């Protein structure tokens, strides 16, 4: 891309998750979903140049709670953060039309200070009414004050193969692209809290959530379910 230089990437060419780049959360149960985040080779692994985040239906104990699912959550807290940039992931959603209710993979950014602001490069929730679209979003806080949209694929859907999801974050504007096509934009004119929320370092988040706001799994949801990531790349101007 003219004007952009690559400053960070993971092509997932090694034998395991690169812990110089990523943290893997373990023994974490959050009140917003139904699974345990675990650091387990059965849930997060690298093979043939692809990172797999796997959700499984199995009993696990985390945060002193017994849960029925395990899931994967990577972040770059303390290892990489960025103020502005072009953030891109090439990935295949696990979600089909009949077997994916309650599955929710995502690639997103949060501020290092843990305060206001979130940029969702893409969320890919499953289920019959959700699997065919990709969500772009920004948050001010979790009241929630947010702006988001769902973009329906004109043909196909996120689980039919690998697709590229990109967000360009610059002073005063954020743009979203899917397979190179711009699908959304937020800026100072659309978002009164833009400068307050998006003017500081953010870290990367890559996770596969089971259950939550958009519904929980049902008997038809297929496990194990694999969110497959070909690469994650960050450019800056």
Catalytic residues: 118, 123
Angle (nearest 5°) at CA 30 between 25 and 31: 175
Nearest to 89 by CA among 124, 113, 39: 124
Instruction: Please state, in angstroms and rounded to a whole number, the distance separating the CA atoms of residues 87 and 168.
Output: 6
Residue 164: φ, ψ to 5°: -105, 130
Instruction: Please state, in angstroms and rounded to a whole number, the distance separating the CA atoms of residues 133 and 3.
Output: 30
Structure tokens at 147: 């702006």
Instruction: Please state, in angstroms and rounded to a whole number, the distance separating the CA atoms of residues 187 and 63.
Output: 39
């Amino acid at each position: 891309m003219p004007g952009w230089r690559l400053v960070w990437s993971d092509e997932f060419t090694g034998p395991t998750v690169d812990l110089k780049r990523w943290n893997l959360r373990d023994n974490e149960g959050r009140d917003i979903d139904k699974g345990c985040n675990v650091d387990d080779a059965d849930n997060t692994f690298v093979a043939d140049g692809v990172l797999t985040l796997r959700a499984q239906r199995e009993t696990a104990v985390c945060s002193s709670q017994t849960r029925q699912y395990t899931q994967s959550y990577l972040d770059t807290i303390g290892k990489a953060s960025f103020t502005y940039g072009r953030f891109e992931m090439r990935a295949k959603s696990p979600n089909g039309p009949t077997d994916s209710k309650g599955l929710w993979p995502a690639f997103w950014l949060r501020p290092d200070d843990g305060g206001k602001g979130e940029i969702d490069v893409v969320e890919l929730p499953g289920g019959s009414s959700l699997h065919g679209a990709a969500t772009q979003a920004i948050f001010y806080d979790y009241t929630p004050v947010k702006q988001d949209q769902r973009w329906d694929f004109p043909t196909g859907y996120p689980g039919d193969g690998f697709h590229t999801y990109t967000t360009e974050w610059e002073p005063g504007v954020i743009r979203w692209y899917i397979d190179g096509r711009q699908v959304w934009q937020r800026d100072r004119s659309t978002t009164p809290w833009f400068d307050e929320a998006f003017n500081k370092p953010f870290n990367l988040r890559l996770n596969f959530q089971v259950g939550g706001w958009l519904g929980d799994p049902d008997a038809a949801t297929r496990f194990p379910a694999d969110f497959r990531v070909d690469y994650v790349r960050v450019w800056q101007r």
